[in-house]
Structure 1
Amino acid sequence: MTENIGVLGKKPSQRTGVERVVNAPLPTVYGKFQAVGYLDHDRGDEQVALVYGDIGTDQVLTRLHSECLTGDAFGSQHCECGDQLASALRAVAAEGAGVVVYLRGHEGRGIGLLAKLRAMALQAEGLDTVEANLALGLPVDARDYGVAAGILRDLGVESVRLMSNNPRKRDALQRHGVQVTEQVPLLIPPCESNITYLRTKRERLDHNLPHLDAVAHWS
């Protein structure tokens, strides 16, 4: 893997409000990545893109991963987020090139950690994930992908093969000027702890999760 990835030698982008601050090697259990750190001047968030290999500009295998402390760090089975992150990192390493943009500020589909935990408590009482957010007076999905598009443009990426089951994420990225040439499924086997959550994502949030049909017998 080379040290110069995409267009990392150029000056940080200012027109998007995203400033590239640092590029550091990051050896992981999945392979040797470059961690490219950004500052989102609009929101004040610190962001990171994990870049593997020479990514080029077109049809770059890409994952936009929303921060999920409970899933990514603690291995929660309430969602599939941790497994999706691991699968995406393995996929770009197997591909030989790709990007995983880890989006901070997206916790709980953008409502924040404490609000997400409150929503999870309501789900334990019988509400689904959509109903729980609304019961708290919060949006169902408050995420914005403008910063992700800015990061990809700074890396020189013009089009992606997007690892996601969420067509709304694809549409949002395209609205921000990054072409999605393919939506690559990222399907994680469900468990009894997350099957209701995943069914809600399919039925109420338009996620493409055909593998859930195989566990139709679960209540």
Structure 2
Amino acid sequence: MTENIGVLGKQKSAQSRGAERVVNAPLPTVYGKFQAIGYLDHDRGDEQVALVYGDIGTDDVLTRLHSECLTGDAFGSQHCECGDQLDAAMRAVVAEGRGIVVYLRGHEGRGIGLLAKLRAMALQAEGLDTVEANLALGLPVDARDYGVAAEILHDLGVASVRLLSNNPRKREALLEHGIKVSEEVPLLIPPCENNITYLRTKRERLDHHLPHLDAVAHWS
């Protein structure tokens, strides 16, 4: 992999916008060899990473903005589809030959944090849906901010993306921050009995595009 990842060779700092590029290291994975580019978000104090594959160029870059999910990404939770989405996104980027997975720290539980997410999951086990559970805890339904993701993409020289997402808020956030979304690429994971209610709530109350759920209408 060459060093001209967008404007990587220039080592441009995004510190003035809140995100400072700190390190660029090779990261061999089971999917392929990525470059792990680490950023410090000075506004929020989070450490962020962009996994970059191939010479990405500037336009129509296949991109995933992946919200941190310890239970799904690391533990294989079937409460959500996050781990499978991360796996599918990394495979898609490698198959494309170029692309970016921005892994967004501080987004655990749609921005409420790990312990609050676990409390919300406990309430969901008692019958509340994911939106009702957050509200019952006095927390926002979705507290995520995608500004730092846009800053990272700007720093990498990206002007437009093909966005791997079912969430229209991600597209809107990138557009607001000057990143063109040339295409929305669905990232549909087959549901299971443990997450079908959660996914239906995401579709019905959070406006996620999940048309494949119609095929499993027989599950309660």
If the length of structure 1 is used for normalisation, what is the TM-score?
Answer: 0.99
Counterpart check, 1:20 vs 2:21? yes
Structure 1 Cα separation of the partners of residues 3 and 169 of structure 2: 34
What's 1:7 paired with? 7
What's 1:162 paired with? 163
Q: Deviations over 1:147-202 (max 9, x none)?
A: 00000000000110000001111111111111111100000000000000000000
Q: Which amino acid aligns with 1:74?
A: F
Residues 11-160 of structure 1 mapped to structure 2, 5 A cutoff: 11-160=12-161
Structure 2 Cα separation of the partners of residues 186 and 166 of structure 1: 10
Residue segments in structure 1 that go unaligned for 5+ positions in a row: none
Deviation of 1:15 (Å) = 2.4
The CA RMSD measured in Å over matched residues stands at: 0.7
Deviation of 1:3 (Å) = 3.0
Q: Which amino acid aligns with 2:176?
A: R
Structure 2 Cα separation of the partners of residues 41 and 3 of structure 1: 25
Counterpart check, 1:173 vs 2:174? yes
Structure 1 Cα separation of the partners of residues 147 and 127 of structure 2: 34
What's 1:189 paired with? 190
* Superposed structure 1 runs of 4+ greater than 2 Å apart: none
Q: Is the 8 A contact 2:37 2:50 kept in 1?
A: yes
Structure 2 Cα separation of the partners of residues 90 and 6 of structure 1: 21
Question: Alignment length, in residue pairs?
Answer: 219
Structure 2 Cα separation of the partners of residues 17 and 196 of structure 1: 37
Q: Which amino acid aligns with 2:3?
A: E
Deviation of 1:57 (Å) = 0.4
Residue segments in structure 2 that go unaligned for 5+ positions in a row: none
Q: Which amino acid aligns with 1:33?
A: F
What's 2:213 paired with? 212
Q: Deviations over 1:62-103 (max 9, x none)?
A: 000000000000000000000000000000000000000000
Q: Deviations over 1:114-143 (max 9, x none)?
A: 000000000000000000000000000000
Deviation of 1:9 (Å) = 2.1
Q: Is the 8 A contact 2:63 2:99 kept in 1?
A: yes
Q: Which amino acid aligns with 1:9?
A: G
Deviation of 1:14 (Å) = 2.2
Q: Which amino acid aligns with 1:40?
A: D
Structure 2 Cα separation of the partners of residues 15 and 179 of structure 1: 21
Name the SS for the 2:38 alignment partner.
strand
Structure 2 Cα separation of the partners of residues 177 and 110 of structure 1: 23
If the length of structure 2 is used for normalisation, what is the TM-score?
Answer: 0.98
Deviation of 1:16 (Å) = 1.1
